[in-house]
Amino acid sequence: MVRPEPMVFYASEGDRSWISLSVEMEGFLPAKVRVELSDAGPIFREVYLESTRSLLLVCMDAVTKEKIPDVSVVFLWKGKDGSGSFMSPRPIVSGPAGDLSIGIGQGCGSIEVVACHPGHAIKGFAIDDVETIGDGGRIVIPLEEGLEVEGIVLDDDGDPVPWVNIDLDRIDGPDFIRWMRPASLQFFDKVPDLGKTGIDGSFRIEGVPRGKYRVSLFQKDYYPDPRNEPMIVAGDGPASWAGMMRKGAALSGVVIAEDGSPVPGAQGILALHDGKGRPVKGFSKVFESDESGSFEVRGLAAGLLYDAIFDSRDGRRFLGTVDPSNPPAAWRVVLGDR
């Protein structure tokens, strides 16, 4: 029997202390165990490792079909019916033939992959039914050329809007989902579909695959014009796009407790939702009450009904709705128990 050498981390808080064990062994899933320490004597703890089955990933150019070496891949697999999940602790790199083998749990139901390679766009890729592939099965990851896009954001008067956060969402193909953006930023130090305008309202984003994209705009003092057109990235030179943001309405008030005292540091969210209950990108506003409990929000779309959520630091809450074009006079948001 091979006994792996665990990585041990010691930590303490007050009169409690513990060690965290990280055990990794080829052919098994990594295991993490936390053991409380005491004066009772030596501590013995059995750690059970789950054996893995292998999947072969092959990285290939989507156009030329050539296999691509030196592709860095991180992955996340989920158990059947969405139960349990595991993310690779570090990137795995494809070999000279563009292939790499990953180990997944016996109960794996689906797998999601982020692949990064210089000269290609960062790829988000998902397989929903791993059971049909079988042990040692082959999955092709098609990598696309990364292109440059540029654009400008103007306001109602035609003036540039600075410091707008740009978010590109693929309409005609697979898009980054859930964990992929933070994982891409953590392991590869970039996210290919996010950008920001400068002082002149312009932006430039590199590494975007060909396709059709919805452009979402976020700026605390504006809301996006719903008539903004999608961006088309065709590959015949940098894709150019122009969009508009509107100044909108302002809303102010004060957050108070049930006894009438002001509540500083309460976090507020005003959000629009579509017919399926999903937040509409670019319209939500997040803010905080000041020391006197007062707040002011700008860039709201008048005539639309926003869901309002306020939470205090000690767990009290307010839920309601508000129309910025017809706000309550001297709006007093009263927080109560959840």
Average of per-residue pLDDT across 231-250: 88
Between 66 and 131, name the one with better pLDDT: 66
Q: How many CB atoms lie within 10 A of CB 84?
A: 13
**pLDDT score for 283:** 93
Mean pLDDT of 233-257: 89
CATH class of 249-334: mainly beta
User: pLDDT (tens digit, 9 = 90+) per residue, 258-271?
Assistant: 999 999 999 999 99
pLDDT band at 104 (very low <50, low <70, confident <90, very high): confident
pLDDT at position 123 over 60:
yes
Asked if domains 52-143 and 249-334 share a fold, the reply is yes
- Min mean pLDDT across 50-59, 221-230, 322-331 is at 50-59
Share the mean pLDDT of the chain. 85
What pLDDT is stored for residue 79 in this prediction?
A: 78
Name the CATH code of domain 147-176+191-246 (choices 3.90.1150.10, 1.20.1560.10, 2.60.110.10, 2.60.40.1120): 2.60.40.1120
CB 126, CB 111: distance < 8 Å: yes
pLDDT at 9: 64
pLDDT of 224 reads: 96
pLDDT of 133 above 70 = no
pLDDT tier for residue 7 given thresholds of 50, 70 and 90: low
- In the chain, what percentage of residues exceed pLDDT 70? 85
% of the chain beyond a pLDDT of 90 = 48
Two structure tokens written together for 66: 């050539």
With 80 as the cut, is the pLDDT of residue 31 above it?
Answer: no
Over range 276-286, report the average pLDDT.
89
Collapsing DSSP states into helix, strand and coil, what is residue 89? Answer: coil
Q: What is the pLDDT of residue 102?
A: 82
| Highest mean predicted confidence (pLDDT) among 53-62, 103-112, 278-287 | 278-287
**Rounded-to-integer distance, Cα 266 and Cα 117, Å:** 43
Q: What is the CATH number of domain 52-143?
A: 2.60.40.1120
Q: What share of the chain is helix, strand, coil (3-state, %, to 5)?
A: 5, 50, 45
Question: pTM of this prediction?
Answer: 0.76
In whole angstroms, what is the distance from residue 146 CA to residue 207 CA? 4
Residue 215's Cα: distance from chain center in Å? Answer: 16
Residue 59 has pLDDT above 90, yes or no: yes
pLDDT digits (tens, 9 = 90+) for 176-212: 877 888 889 899 988 878 999 999 999 999 989 889 9
> Strand pairing partners for 128?
none
Average pLDDT score over residue span 231-246: 87
Q: For Cα atoms 120, 121, 123, give the angle at the middle one, nearest 5 degrees.
A: 115
Segments making up each domain of the chain, as ranges: 1-50, 52-143, 147-176+191-246, 249-334
More confident residue, 31 or 250: 250
pLDDT at 162 over 50: yes
Instruction: For residue 190, give both structure tokens.
Output: 């970039």
Residue 1 has pLDDT above 50, yes or no: no
pLDDT > 50? residue 100? yes
Residue 320's pLDDT band, with cuts at 50, 70 and 90, is very high
Q: Please give the average per-residue pLDDT across 26-41, as a whole number.
A: 67
Mean pLDDT, residues 48-71: 84
Q: State mean pLDDT over 48-62.
A: 79
